[in-house]
Amino acid sequence: MKILVTVGTTAFDELIIEIDRAFKHDTNVSIMAQVSEKSCCETHNIRTFDFCDNLQPYIEQADVVVTHAGAGSVYSMLESGKKLVVVPNLQRADKHQLELAKYVHDNKFAIACLDLKTLKPCILQAVSTDFSPYQREKFFGHSIIRDLLI
């Protein structure tokens, strides 16, 4: 199994450390992780690379993607159609990541992993789950916003 982990531009070392630990004895698992430039964790079983604008080649190779619950990352991964595990960074002061993780889980678009101790079972569940296909809704509120600003 090939796993891609992405954390965007904000460090989420707890996620990287946990996935490294969880799969340390699984020789049939290959993990590639996009880490933040601010990341300071050492990994033993993961190949890492810094944030980049084009994750598509990595996404195409992955069987499952594990992502932080940043909106940009989550929605781009949903549009890719890959099996997905969304992990909110609960160390953040705002709670929008938790809300987004619950939204994708409740709508059966992805698995939400709300406790890092359950990361491995969440990943294994995602691989065997048939998710509802995500369809991006076009935004038609430009005129409403414009009218509010005038």
pLDDT tens readout for residues 19-42? 999 999 999 999 999 988 777 778
pLDDT (mean) for 109-128 = 97
Mean pLDDT score of the chain: 90
**Which pTM was predicted?**
0.87
Dist. CA 59–CA 36, nearest whole Å: 17
Segment 49-69, tens digit of pLDDT: 888 778 889 999 999 999 999
Distance (Å, whole) CA 18 – CA 65? 15
- Whether 118 and 105 have beta carbons less than 8 Å apart is answered as no
Q: Using pLDDT thresholds of 50, 70 and 90, give the confidence band for residue 139.
A: low
Residue that the structure tokens 């678009």 belong to: 109
